[in-house]
């Protein structure tokens, strides 16, 4: 009703208020007001309850019909989304994207996210956008899964950006997390230390990983500065996560923060700092480990060809701070401390004590120390030492990933060809775990053929290895995947068989996506 | 005992008093009354000697209930040691109230059980000799007379129930709704139970609903006054029902919850047409899943709703795809627009709808709602096509799913989207926003309590459901 209806100074609104007031108290205590003339005037005489109910009936009808649904004045209409610039995807691609979000989910959540990211990347390459009706689903997924945000942004198009800006949870998908930490909110700008303390935990983590992945050394170094700026106040979980994020690519200047972390109140953070410092041979802790290790090493024998390792003394407080902690049950204290020293000290301490090259030095080390050396080599990605260890051991020793790409491929090729059966299963697992992602078609074929040479019931592969194999085979030719299908049909151990067939299913879905958006 | 020749003629319904008499105690009867909601029941039926059905209890599998009327003897798969159990009583209550459809055939296990009992009874009866006679016209006439008598009895019970309701309402008005609000649930429950006994289950459900919500609503006073007004209108209309036209009387019958037998509906008005599926809404109320499908007849211009119900866990007829066109004959339930309908023929797909039919701006939609209310003041939902409407998110649309629908002239109505629960409805609202992008589109929805529940959207790409 646009204007109040007034009759003899009683508006319908006043009358309505009077009816409700009488109803609340009861007509026994307050009589219902007479109907205003606009609604027909007073009704016939009746008892008070009946009069109130009659009034309620009229009021219900008035409200049902006359209730203004909303103000009649024109309101500001929403600004419509501009026209999209990209084409919608082909029907087959659209179906696949719908399938990925069907319930029940066709694949586990983590794998689904990888496939969705693949769909988005293929769509961006093809120059098509997300279908309008699937925008809410994808934006919601990207809200909870930050890794999908970057691939989603280029294919949102105008409609997607318009929609995301309306939803408080989704505007974060639009914003580059770097932009959130930068002064002007511009993507790609240097992060602003003043914004860091106010970022939510997931955004901080994403920013750290992003900075660590940067090609610019100065940016990589900035990450530790940000962590250090709030270190004193961050809770233990965040401190741990931040160190882990920095550990994805350590830089020399991390030494200052890690040294500080050695004095942390949390034993978890201290242990993490010690482990990370094993990968930083230029650190002060590495220097201290060298000072502890060097006096224990001596040459002996007539030609000085033996490398003697003396028993380390019990560690002092400074040693415990550096990680010379009591050993796990069932481990010799001396072997444990020596291993910790070798893994922590710069590797040249060993060669200068032996006076010979890496390979010869490695050969002269007792077994427990060799494992410590392999750990240090892997963490520090020391190519010379990796070559030496692989040559001496005559097997990949988990160090192939340290080698330059071409050398690694050669090793993998010849290594896979050498795997002749169940006896080489350990090497085969090592080799599979070292496959580059993605592996070139030749290596992919070699890997699958090597699997075929193991008697199926004995082919036990850890799940992580199968996952890595799956990622390595993303560009594998159809014939290779068909060979893998053959393998899955044999009587593999249950867990391995299941993991491989899931992997195959994902690879074939992925291939369908690539083909639909070619 | 019923004769074998009359085996396919449903047994004569028991009056309510007889069902009451069968109850082992008062508590069983109270428990049984709560089980009489249609949603809990499936696969019900009645034959000459047997009433059966499945009742969804708290367990996964529904309880199988059968009653041999010739005994009477009761059987139920529930673990209760009361005899008969509340499920058997509830089944009899429903049957007595005329809420059981005559079934196609008893489930095997119920039939076998009844046969065993019949054989045993027969061997006992053999001694007394005597056999059944065929049904003669006199018997049929007697049955028709009995049916008319049952109808008169029901109406008498309903009349008494309405007068009882009138007294209750007058009392409530005199003592005030603030006092009623302080009452506990059992007070409302006992008022509802009396209405169930008076065979006014529709009103009983409304009383229960008010009892459940009156404490929590912020607008409880206005809402309660509205509901009292509605019930009082019902009381006064019922008193005059002899003077009312057939459609208005049918509307009253729907409100009080006197179910129509589907055979009766099929024998009434039928319309053969091409029906466009305008929209569908699913909701759950307790264990009952309800599906409401709106259809528009292209030649007849009728806009009708088809209702399907399923108990929890039972399959619901597959939803018709919104935007599809179906060639079918529908039978319309008596009453004013918007009418309920049921499918008489199996629908044949007849292509797709490219544009929502009819409609206009929000003023036109409101005018039609007013006209519908003038014809049937009890109507709650009115279907509407709003053309060239833009959808704008409300302030908390990400959590509430509330939007504003703006028509070409700038008039607005609050909007929500369809969904079985709040989360689904919120998701559907964002789907609506994504599909329209703030640009004008045609919407189909239900106007109810001043809110437009959007069920379908028509853009350049055709008509799709939410």
A93 part of a folded domain: no
Instruction: Give the 3-state secondary structure of residue A60.
Output: helix
Instruction: Give the 3-state secondary structure of residue B426.
Output: helix
pLDDT, position B301: 92
Tens digit of each residue's pLDDT (9 = 90 or more) over A329-344: 888 888 899 999 999 9
Kindly state whether residues A113 and A55 are assigned to the same domain.
Answer: no
User: For B46, phi and psi rounded to 5 degrees?
Assistant: -145, 135
- Band of pLDDT at residue A160, cut at 50, 70 and 90: very high
Instruction: Give the 3-state secondary structure of residue A7.
Output: strand
Comparing CB atoms, the residue among A28, A61, A78 nearest residue B392 is: A78
User: A267 near A323, Cβ under 8 Å?
Assistant: no
Instruction: Give the 3-state secondary structure of residue B76.
Output: strand
A217 part of a folded domain: yes
Kindly state whether residues A437 and A504 are assigned to the same domain.
Answer: yes
Kindly state whether residues B144 and B192 are assigned to the same domain.
Answer: yes
- Residue A82 Cα, gap to closest chain B Cα (Å): 8
Asked whether the beta carbons of residue A56 and residue B225 sit closer than 8 angstroms, the reply is: yes
Kindly report the number of other CB atoms within 10 A of residue A282's CB atom. 12
Q: Which of B114, B133, B152 is the last residue of a domain?
A: B133
Comparing CB atoms, the residue among B173, B178, B447 nearest residue A52 is: B173
The pLDDT mean for chain B works out to 85
Q: Is A109 a residue whose pLDDT tops 50?
A: yes
* Selected residue of B218, B224, B225, B426 to mutate for chain A interface (largest A Cβ count, 10 A): B225
A472 part of a folded domain: yes
Asked whether the beta carbons of residue B439 and residue A80 sit closer than 8 angstroms, the reply is: yes
Kindly report the number of other CB atoms within 10 A of residue A394's CB atom. 8
Instruction: Give the 3-state secondary structure of residue B57.
Output: coil
Spatial distance between the Cα atoms of B177 and A27, rounded to a whole number of angstroms = 10
Spatial distance between the Cα atoms of B30 and B25, rounded to a whole number of angstroms = 9
Spatial distance between the Cα atoms of B307 and B339, rounded to a whole number of angstroms = 11
Task: Tell me what the mean pLDDT of segment A416-426 comes to.
Answer: 82
CB neighbour list of residue A10: distance below 8 Å, 6 or more residues apart: A33, A36, A37
B415 lies within 8 A of chain A by CB: no
Q: Is A362 a residue whose pLDDT tops 50?
A: yes
CB neighbour list of residue A394: distance below 8 Å, 6 or more residues apart: none
A184 part of a folded domain: no
Tens digit of each residue's pLDDT (9 = 90 or more) over B254-266: 999 998 888 889 9
Q: Is B363 a residue whose pLDDT tops 60?
A: yes
Tens digit of each residue's pLDDT (9 = 90 or more) over A66-78: 755 445 555 666 6
Kindly state whether residues A263 and A209 are assigned to the same domain.
Answer: yes
Residues of B with Cβ-Cβ distance to A23 under 8 angstroms:
173, 176-177, 221, 224-225, 228
Show the DSSP H helices in A434-493 as ranges. 441-452, 463-472, 478-488
Comparing CB atoms, the residue among A23, A29, A50 nearest residue B170 is: A50
Q: Is the peptide bond before B86 cis (omega within 30 degrees of 0)?
A: no
The pLDDT mean for chain A works out to 86
Q: What percent of chain A is helix, strand and coil (3-state, nearest 5)?
A: 65, 5, 35
User: B32 near B96, Cβ under 8 Å?
Assistant: no
User: A58 near A39, Cβ under 8 Å?
Assistant: yes
Domain count for chain A: 5
Expressed as residue numbers, the domain containing B290 is 262-352
Spatial distance between the Cα atoms of B155 and B57, rounded to a whole number of angstroms = 32
What is the rounded end-to-end Cα distance, in angstroms, of chain B? 55
- Band of pLDDT at residue A91, cut at 50, 70 and 90: very high
Q: Which of A373, A394, A415 is the last residue of a domain?
A: A394
B370 lies within 8 A of chain A by CB: yes
Kindly report the number of other CB atoms within 10 A of residue B410's CB atom. 15
Asked whether the beta carbons of residue B438 and residue A65 sit closer than 8 angstroms, the reply is: no
Show the DSSP H helices in A101-134 as ranges. 109-126
* Selected residue of B174, B415, B457 to mutate for chain A interface (largest A Cβ count, 10 A): B174
* Selected residue of A78, A138, A165, A168 to mutate for chain B interface (largest B Cβ count, 10 A): A78
Kindly state whether residues B10 and B128 are assigned to the same domain.
Answer: yes
A442 part of a folded domain: yes
DSSP-derived secondary structure letter, A458: G
Kindly state whether residues A420 and A356 are assigned to the same domain.
Answer: no
Kindly indicate whether the ipTM for this predicted assembly is greater than 0.85, answering yes or no. Answer: no
User: A354 near A360, Cβ under 8 Å?
Assistant: yes
Asked whether the beta carbons of residue A78 and residue B221 sit closer than 8 angstroms, the reply is: no
User: A393 near A411, Cβ under 8 Å?
Assistant: no
B362 lies within 8 A of chain A by CB: yes
Kindly state whether residues B144 and B128 are assigned to the same domain.
Answer: no
Q: Is A502 or B83 the better-scoring residue by pLDDT?
A: A502
Q: Is A514 a residue whose pLDDT tops 70?
A: yes
Kindly state whether residues A214 and A257 are assigned to the same domain.
Answer: yes
Asked whether the beta carbons of residue A59 and residue B175 sit closer than 8 angstroms, the reply is: no
CB neighbour list of residue B366: distance below 8 Å, 6 or more residues apart: A69, B447
- Band of pLDDT at residue A288, cut at 50, 70 and 90: very high
Spatial distance between the Cα atoms of A358 and A439, rounded to a whole number of angstroms = 30
- Band of pLDDT at residue B2, cut at 50, 70 and 90: very low
Kindly state whether residues A505 and A422 are assigned to the same domain.
Answer: yes
Asked whether the beta carbons of residue B232 and residue A54 sit closer than 8 angstroms, the reply is: yes
Task: Tell me what the mean pLDDT of segment B218-229 comes to.
Answer: 94
Contacts by residues B180-187 (CB-CB < 8 Å, ≥ 24 positions apart): B180/B214, B180/B224, B181/B214, B181/B215, B181/B220, B181/B224, B183/B211, B185/B211, B185/B212, B187/B211
Residues within 8 A of A (CB atoms), B 148-177 only? 169-171, 173-177
Q: How many CA atoms lie within 13 A of B152 on its CB side?
A: 6
Query: Residues A155, A161, A163, A164: is their CA dihedral positive or negative?
Result: positive
Residues of A with Cβ-Cβ distance to B363 under 8 angstroms:
none
Expressed as residue numbers, the domain containing A137 is 107-174
Spatial distance between the Cα atoms of A197 and A181, rounded to a whole number of angstroms = 10
Q: Is B440 or A201 the better-scoring residue by pLDDT?
A: B440
DSSP-derived secondary structure letter, A34: P
Percent of chain A with pLDDT over 90: 41
Q: Is B5 a residue whose pLDDT tops 70?
A: no
Instruction: Give the 3-state secondary structure of residue B243.
Output: helix
Spatial distance between the Cα atoms of A240 and B186, rounded to a whole number of angstroms = 56
Domain count for chain B: 4
User: B400 near B415, Cβ under 8 Å?
Assistant: no
Compute and round to an integer the Cα radius of gyration of chain B.
25
User: For B274, phi and psi rounded to 5 degrees?
Assistant: -95, 120
Q: Is A206 a residue whose pLDDT tops 90?
A: no
A98 part of a folded domain: no
B300 part of a folded domain: yes
Could you tell me whether strands B412-417 and B382-393 are parallel, antiparallel, or unpaired per DSSP bridges? unpaired
Kindly state whether residues A307 and A386 are assigned to the same domain.
Answer: yes
Kindly state whether residues A357 and A447 are assigned to the same domain.
Answer: no
A99 part of a folded domain: no
Q: Which of A142, A174, A206 is the last residue of a domain?
A: A174
| Cα→Cα distances A59→A249, A444, B229, B236, B439, Å | 73, 79, 7, 16, 38
Q: Which of B117, B133, B149 is the last residue of a domain?
A: B133
Going by C-alpha positions, the residue among A355, A336, A230 that lies closest to residue A298 is: A355
Kindly state whether residues B155 and B223 are assigned to the same domain.
Answer: yes
B357 part of a folded domain: no
| Cα→Cα distances A167→B101, B303, B396, Å | 49, 35, 9
Q: Is A46 a residue whose pLDDT tops 90?
A: no
- Band of pLDDT at residue B462, cut at 50, 70 and 90: confident
- Three-state SS sequence of B136-164: CHHHHHHHHHHHHHHHHHHHHHHHHHHHH
Q: Which of A394, A421, A454 is the last residue of a domain?
A: A394
User: For A170, phi and psi rounded to 5 degrees?
Assistant: -95, -15
Kindly state whether residues B176 and B208 are assigned to the same domain.
Answer: yes
Q: How many CA atoms lie within 13 A of B45 on its CB side?
A: 16
Show the DSSP H helices in A38-148 as ranges. 48-66, 91-100, 109-126, 135-144
Spatial distance between the Cα atoms of B454 and B452, rounded to a whole number of angstroms = 6
Asked whether the beta carbons of residue A26 and residue B438 sit closer than 8 angstroms, the reply is: no
Compute and round to an integer the Cα radius of gyration of chain A.
35
B366 lies within 8 A of chain A by CB: yes
- Inter-axis angle of helices A478-488 and A494-516, nearest 10: 150
- Band of pLDDT at residue A2, cut at 50, 70 and 90: very low
Q: Which of B133, B158, B185 is the last residue of a domain?
A: B133
Spatial distance between the Cα atoms of A59 and B32, rounded to a whole number of angstroms = 37
Spatial distance between the Cα atoms of B448 and B130, rounded to a whole number of angstroms = 63
Which of A132-146, B94-108, B225-239, B376-390 is the least confident region?
A: B94-108
Show the DSSP H helices in B39-107 as ranges. 86-96
Residues of A with Cβ-Cβ distance to B424 under 8 angstroms:
none
Residues of B with Cβ-Cβ distance to A59 under 8 angstroms:
225-226, 229
Kindly state whether residues B330 and B292 are assigned to the same domain.
Answer: yes
Kindly state whether residues B274 and B247 are assigned to the same domain.
Answer: no
Task: Tell me what the mean pLDDT of segment A94-104 comes to.
Answer: 87
B346 part of a folded domain: yes
pLDDT, position B102: 53
B224 lies within 8 A of chain A by CB: yes
Kindly state whether residues A310 and A374 are assigned to the same domain.
Answer: yes
User: B374 near B427, Cβ under 8 Å?
Assistant: no
A224 part of a folded domain: yes
Kindly state whether residues B96 and B32 are assigned to the same domain.
Answer: yes
- Residue A284 Cα, gap to closest chain B Cα (Å): 52
Tens digit of each residue's pLDDT (9 = 90 or more) over B109-138: 666 776 776 676 666 655 454 444 456 778
B18 lies within 8 A of chain A by CB: no
User: B438 near B390, Cβ under 8 Å?
Assistant: yes
pLDDT, position B383: 95
- Residue A133 Cα, gap to closest chain B Cα (Å): 6
DSSP-derived secondary structure letter, A86: S
pLDDT, position A185: 42
Going by C-alpha positions, the residue among B116, B68, B60 that lies closest to residue B92 is: B68
Kindly state whether residues B12 and B126 are assigned to the same domain.
Answer: yes
CB neighbour list of residue A154: distance below 8 Å, 6 or more residues apart: A120, A124
For A107-121, b where at least 16 C-beta lie within 10 A, e where not — what string? Answer: beeebbbbbbbbbbb
Tens digit of each residue's pLDDT (9 = 90 or more) over A290-329: 999 999 998 888 777 888 888 899 999 999 999 998 888 8
| Cα→Cα distances A18→A3, A34, B220, B336, Å | 19, 9, 16, 33
Kindly state whether residues B122 and B12 are assigned to the same domain.
Answer: yes
Kindly state whether residues B393 and B407 are assigned to the same domain.
Answer: yes
Kindly state whether residues A408 and A511 are assigned to the same domain.
Answer: yes
Q: Is A236 a residue whose pLDDT tops 90?
A: yes
């Amino acid at each position: 009703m646009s204007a109040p209806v007034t009759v003899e100074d009683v508006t319908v609104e006043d009358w309505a208020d009077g009816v409700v007031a009488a109803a609340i108290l009861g007509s026994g205590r307050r009589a219902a007001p007479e109907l205003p003339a606009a609604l027909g005037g007073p009704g016939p005489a009746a008892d008070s309850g009946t009069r109130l109910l009659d009034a309620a009936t009229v009021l219900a009808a008035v409200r049902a019909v006359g209730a203004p649904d909303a103000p009649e004045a024109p309101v500001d209409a929403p600004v419509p989304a501009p026209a999209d610039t990209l084409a919608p995807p082909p029907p087959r691609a659209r179906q696949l994207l719908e399938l990925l979000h069907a319930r029940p989910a066709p694949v586990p959540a983590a794998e689904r996210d990888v496939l969705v990211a693949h769909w988005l990347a293929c769509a961006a390459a093809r120059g098509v956008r997300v279908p309008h009706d699937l925008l809410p689903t994808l934006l919601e997924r990207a809200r909870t899964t930050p890794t999908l945000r970057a691939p989603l942004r280029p294919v949102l198009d105008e409609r997607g950006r318009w929609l995301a800006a309306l939803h408080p949870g989704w505007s974060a998908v639009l914003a580059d997390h770097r932009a959130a930490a930068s002064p002007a909110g511009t993507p790609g700008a240097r992060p602003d230390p003043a914004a860091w303390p106010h970022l939510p935990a997931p955004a901080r983590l994403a920013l750290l990983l992003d900075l660590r992945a940067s090609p610019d050394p100065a940016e990589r170094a900035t990450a530790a500065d940000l962590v250090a700026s709030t270190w004193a106040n961050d809770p233990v979980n965040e401190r741990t996560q931040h160190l882990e994020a920095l550990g994805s690519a350590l830089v020399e200047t991390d030494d200052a923060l890690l040294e500080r972390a050695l004095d942390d109140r949390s034993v978890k953070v201290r242990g993490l700092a010690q482990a990370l410092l094993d990968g930083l041979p230029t650190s002060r802790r590495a220097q201290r480990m060298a000072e502890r290790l060097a006096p224990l090493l001596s040459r002996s024998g007539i030609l000085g060809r033996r490398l003697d390792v003396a028993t380390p003394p019990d560690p002092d407080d400074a040693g415990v701070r550096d990680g010379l902690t009591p050993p796990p049950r069932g481990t010799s204290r001396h072997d444990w401390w020596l291993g910790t020293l070798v893994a922590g000290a710069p590797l040249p301490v060993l060669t200068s004590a032996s006076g010979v090259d890496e390979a010869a030095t490695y050969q002269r080390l007792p077994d427990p120390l060799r494992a410590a050396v392999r750990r240090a080599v892997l963490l520090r990605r020391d190519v010379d030492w990796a070559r030496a260890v692989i040559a001496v051991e005559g097997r990949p020793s988990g160090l192939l990933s340290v080698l330059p790409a071409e050398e690694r491929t050669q090793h993998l090729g010849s290594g896979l060809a050498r795997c002749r059966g169940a006896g080489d299963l350990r090497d085969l697992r090592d080799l599979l775990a070292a496959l580059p992602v993605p592996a070139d078609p030749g290596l992919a074929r070699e890997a699958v053929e090597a699997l075929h040479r193991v008697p199926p019931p004995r082919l036990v592969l850890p799940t992580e290895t199968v996952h890595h194999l799956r990622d390595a085979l993303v560009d594998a030719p159809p014939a290779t995947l068909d060979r893998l299908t053959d393998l899955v049909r044999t009587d593999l151990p249950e867990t391995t068989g299941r993991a491989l067939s899931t992997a195959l299913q994902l690879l074939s879905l992925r291939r369908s996506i690539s083909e639909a958006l070619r | 005992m019923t004769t074998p020749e009359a085996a396919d003629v449903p047994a004569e319904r028991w009056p309510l008093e007889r069902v009451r008499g069968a109850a082992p105690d008062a508590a069983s009867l109270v428990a049984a009354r709560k089980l009489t909601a249609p949603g809990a029941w499936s696969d019900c039926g009645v034959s000459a000697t047997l009433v059966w059905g499945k009742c969804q209890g708290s367990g996964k599998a529904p309880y199988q209930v059968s009653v041999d009327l010739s005994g009477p003897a009761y059987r139920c798969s529930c673990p209760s040691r009361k005899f008969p159990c509340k499920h058997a009583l509830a089944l009899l209550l429903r049957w007595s109230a005329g809420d059981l459809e005559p079934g196609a055939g008893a489930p095997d296990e119920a039939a076998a059980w009844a046969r065993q009992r019949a054989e045993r009874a027969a061997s006992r009866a053999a001694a007394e000799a005597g056999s059944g006679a065929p049904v003669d016209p006199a018997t049929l006439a007697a049955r028709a007379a009995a049916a008319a008598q049952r109808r008169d009895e029901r109406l008498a019970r309903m009349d008494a129930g309405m007068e009882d309701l009138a007294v209750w309402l007058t009392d409530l008005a005199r003592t005030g709704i603030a006092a009623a609000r302080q009452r506990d649930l059992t007070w409302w429950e006992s008022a509802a139970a009396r209405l169930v006994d008076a065979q006014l289950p529709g009103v009983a459900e409304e009383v229960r609903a008010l009892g459940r919500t009156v404490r929590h609503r912020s607008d409880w006073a206005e809402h309660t006054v509205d509901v009292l007004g509605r019930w009082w209108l019902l009381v006064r209309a019922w008193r005059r029902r002899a003077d009312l036209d057939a459609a208005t009387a049918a509307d009253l019958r729907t409100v009080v919850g006197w179910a129509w037998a589907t055979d009766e509906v099929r024998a009434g008005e039928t319309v053969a047409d091409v029906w466009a599926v305008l929209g569908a809404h699913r909701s759950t109320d307790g264990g009952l899943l309800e599906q409401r499908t709106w259809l528009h007849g292209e030649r007849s211009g009728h806009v009708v709703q088809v209702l399907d119900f399923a108990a929890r866990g039972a399959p619901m007829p597959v939803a018709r795809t919104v935007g599809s066109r179906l060639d079918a004959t529908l039978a319309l339930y008596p009453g004013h627009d918007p009418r309920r309908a049921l499918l008489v023929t199996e629908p044949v797909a007849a292509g797709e709808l490219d544009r929502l039919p009819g409609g206009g701006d929000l003023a036109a939609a409101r005018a039609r709602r007013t006209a519908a209310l003038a014809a049937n003041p009890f109507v709650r939902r009115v279907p509407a096509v709003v053309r060239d409407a833009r959808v704008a998110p409300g302030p908390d649309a990400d959590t509430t799913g509330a939007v504003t629908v703006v028509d070409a002239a700038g008039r607005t109505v609050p909007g929500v989207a369809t969904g079985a629960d709040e989360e689904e409805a919120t998701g559907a609202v964002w789907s609506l926003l994504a599909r329209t992008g703030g640009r004008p589109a045609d919407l189909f929805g239900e106007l109810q309590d001043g809110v437009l529940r959007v069920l379908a959207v028509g853009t350049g790409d055709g008509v799709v459901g939410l």
